[in-house]
Amino acid sequence: MLTGLKSLVRKATSLLASSKVQTYPIIIPRSDHSLSRTNLSANAVKVLYRLNKAGYDAFLVGGCVRDHLIGIEPKDFDVVTNATPEEVHSIFSNSRLIGRRFKLVHVTFGREMIEVSTFRAGSAQSEDDDETPNSSLKGKDSARSTHGIVLRDNVYGNIEEDAERRDFTFNALYYNVKDFSIHDYCGGLKDIEKKQIRIIGDARQRYQEDPVRMLRAIRFAGKLGFEIEAATAAPIKEMAHLLDHIPPARLFEEVLKLLGSGNGIKTFELLRQYGLFRYLFPDTDALLQSGWKRDDIDPEAFILQGLRNTDDRIQSGKTTAPYFLYAVLLWPSVALRHEEFQAQGMPATPALHQAANMVLDNQVASTAIPRRFSTPMREIWDMQYRLPKRYGKRAFLLLEHPRFRAGFDFLLIRELSGTELDGLGAWWEEFQHATESQQRELIKSIDARASDKEGPKKRRPRRRKKSNSHNRDTNDNSGKTRENFDE
């Protein structure tokens, strides 16, 4: 696909070869590109035609155009139009208005959702835009925090202004369904050919407006295998601290996009390289920086193995639960805190629960973790101490546990990362697929091995019962006493 793209870029730039200054947009006619309606979501095309029929301009924009040109199957289809959100909502009965920071319309077709936004214009910052913690955004179309972060951006404009306010050049590519042409407003085609990520405008200013753009640059580098252009990369380390001012709930979602999209290992390495990981997982980063490890856990090896397994699942078309990813990233910190609490004399199980509480309390200050995810995370961690206890009926009870499979997969990751568990993973793998009689034999073998290791068990002394003769003597004495009394 990139070979065809090079030809497309050459044709596009040759149109303006006589001009010393590149002018935009570059319009690529249908005959010179491979993006066809057959490659697009049928529902997205319906939205485009419906908006056009209502008298509005409408384009596909961003990732769906970019990914097709690179050779990746698009997953999401975003539409941009000159209709306001309220006008779009009035056209589609199967839609709903969402967002305060950016007003959008979601048009739903069964399980598929097409996001429709309105052309936006970059709003110049003024003193009135600066918001204090106690000020209100009510009635304002644009606003920024005291740190310069855009809090609200509902200033509408035209397509040229909309292109300028997008983050990276390859996301300012627009597909026009009227004539099937592609409009390149910021040199995105050239950057795709160069395999580089380049921000639109001044990098420092754009990161100041929205620090999450730094995370998006990393995500695209991991996903596409592109290099981050020098001027785009230069301010990232220095400005990484601005992520502290992003709501934890938003960063939770960004982490899932970064590390749960099938390119986790590369993305993890880039996050650490650019100093961003510490603002997402401060405890985990501090532990990795300290070099702490012990015989049963190597934190970095474990996290990399967990991300490798997640990448493999996603690339093979399987799903992965968000709570599992977070459980992997926070497990080394839980293991360290667990060790510390036990050293203080706390029993193992209460120490684990206290460690989990501490780690989760610290983490939610950076990335919010909903209770529906934190509860299964705790269960997975708890299973690591329950799975070795397979005696009697425990193995059968654990097999019925709703979190058994996740806990077992987690245990396998521990073993693959170098943790020696005496064949525990293989035992559970065999136990799951064995017949009931075979399962009982497996449990017996564990009981026998445990007995061999512990040596002959000392019999617990039985409580002595009072002998019958003693009772008779007592009764006799009692009788004599009565007889003597009677006398």
- What pTM was computed for the model? 0.83
101 CB-near residues (< 8 Å, 6+ apart):
150, 151, 152, 153
278 and 215 Cβ atoms separated by less than 8 Å: no
Measured between alpha carbons, how far is 340 from 343 in angstroms, rounded to an integer?
Answer: 5
Strand 26-28: give its sheet, edge to edge: 26-28, 181-184, 173-176, 58-61, 78-81, 112-118, 104-109, 95-98
Clarify whether 78 is annotated catalytic: yes
The domain locations on the chain are 1-121+156-194, 124-152, 204-246, 248-268+276-455
Say which of 67, 167, 191, 210 is annotated catalytic: 167
> In the structure encoding, which two tokens stand for residue 448, read together?
């026998």
Say which of 32, 76, 130, 298 is annotated catalytic: 76
Q: For residue 173, give Cα distances in angstroms to 78, 168, 385, 482.
A: 12, 10, 52, 112
Q: Domain 1-121+156-194 belongs to what architecture?
A: 2-Layer Sandwich (3.30)
Say which of 67, 78, 191, 283 is annotated catalytic: 78
138 CB-near residues (< 8 Å, 6+ apart):
none
Q: For residue 476, give Cα distances in angstroms to 254, 471, 479, 482.
A: 87, 8, 5, 10
* Domains 1-121+156-194 and 248-268+276-455 agree in fold: no
Tens place of pLDDT per residue across the chain (487 aa): 554 555 565 555 555 444 455 677 899 998 888 888 888 999 999 999 999 999 999 999 989 999 999 988 888 899 999 999 999 999 999 999 998 778 899 999 999 999 999 999 875 554 444 444 444 445 445 556 666 566 656 789 999 999 999 999 999 999 999 999 999 999 999 999 999 999 999 999 999 999 999 999 999 999 999 999 999 999 999 999 999 999 999 999 999 999 998 999 999 999 999 999 999 999 999 999 999 999 889 999 999 999 999 999 999 989 899 999 999 999 999 999 999 999 999 999 999 999 999 999 999 999 999 999 999 999 999 999 999 999 889 999 999 999 999 999 999 999 999 999 999 999 999 999 999 999 999 999 886 555 444 444 455 566 666 555 555 554 454 444 444 434 3
Clarify whether 153 is annotated catalytic: no
Clarify whether 167 is annotated catalytic: yes
Question: Among 1.20.1730.10, 1.10.3090.10, 3.40.50.300, 3.40.50.720, what is the CATH number of 248-268+276-455?
Answer: 1.10.3090.10
